[in-house]
Structure 1
Amino acid sequence: MVGVALTDGASDVMLFSSNGKVIRFPETDVRSMGRVSRGVRGMRISDSERIISLIIAQPDGAILTATEFGYGKRTNLEEYRVQGRGGQGIISIQTSARNGNVVGAVQVCDEDQIMLITNGGTLVRTPVKDVSLVGRNTQGVKLINLTKDEKLVGLERVIEDEDNDADADEQAADNTDDTEE
């Protein structure tokens, strides 16, 4: 299981594979079934690949993809055409000796940040606007510097909550006032 999402009944589903492919199809292509059913095929993949991300496409934003050797990119959502479910998909990011396999994909806005996670336990938080916005069939840019034995294993979208930031700043100011006395 890669993900579960609550939808409005009229959205597009996007499935991303480890070899850099993506398929986007209307959720109406997936019929309702009972809980003991097998389901339907979303994307046809080879034995050596796996589905790594599920996104319910929102009208605005871009898709940010990242690979195991620390490369990634943003691509406008409009570049991912809608097609029928069950196909092999289209290229989302090129997988190569330089890039390695895809480890994740998230839908982002310019105001968001992403958290990159390595198998060595390194966490790097970076603004989305610093990641190049490029076409679908490209390799991307360096997102994180990795050591020789390190690989990127995941990424997550981080959404700043302005109310929490204001509370944290206020609490930090209160703590400073207490220590000065």
Structure 2
Amino acid sequence: MPEKNSAALDFLLTRRSRPAKTLAEPVPGREELMTLLTAAGRSPDHGKLEPWRFIVLEKGAMPRLAELAGARAAAEGRAPEDIEKARNQFDQGNLAVVVVEIQKESDKIPALEMTYSAGAVCLALLNAALAAGWGANWLSGWASHDAAFCREGLGLDENERVAGIIHIGTERAAPPDRPRPDIATLTTWVAS
């Protein structure tokens, strides 16, 4: 029998994200955040391409990004509630890590596998933050898929896109658990 890591398994069976709007200061310092990023970097990466990178958004960057998100939403003709929602992710943020997917040239690794790797990094960072005792939430939102916002606000290149924005902070209130999927109805067993 393999050696079981009961604490890790229990964590994964009970983990839950914390709503970003409930996260407050303090936030992890740079040294602790580097530990979380290092844990996230251990994600599966077919071909060892490292098809992702991190942009750490500290509190001082949030007002600029909120303003840009609001301006981009208004320029797109979005409804007032959409403009407010676009701003709020940054207006209410104290620390967030943007996981940037980088599409790299490869004859062996399909582009989709690079996308999967970046997604795995998002989940690993989220789980590392939660395991370290922080509240965390993986968000995206329309601004993270808006080319002008990504270029102007985050400095992304043409071969890059936002895989996710992981907000990290101190949990102010524990959310109730939500209904979870019925795994038995989502599982097919193939024996031969």
Q: TM-score range by the shorter chain?
A: under 0.3
Return the TM-score normalized by structure 2.
0.21
Structure with larger Rg: 1
Structure with the higher helix share, 1 or 2: 2
Structure with the higher strand share, 1 or 2: 1
Q: Relative contact order (alpha carbons < 8 A, sep ≥ 6): 1 or 2 greater?
A: 2
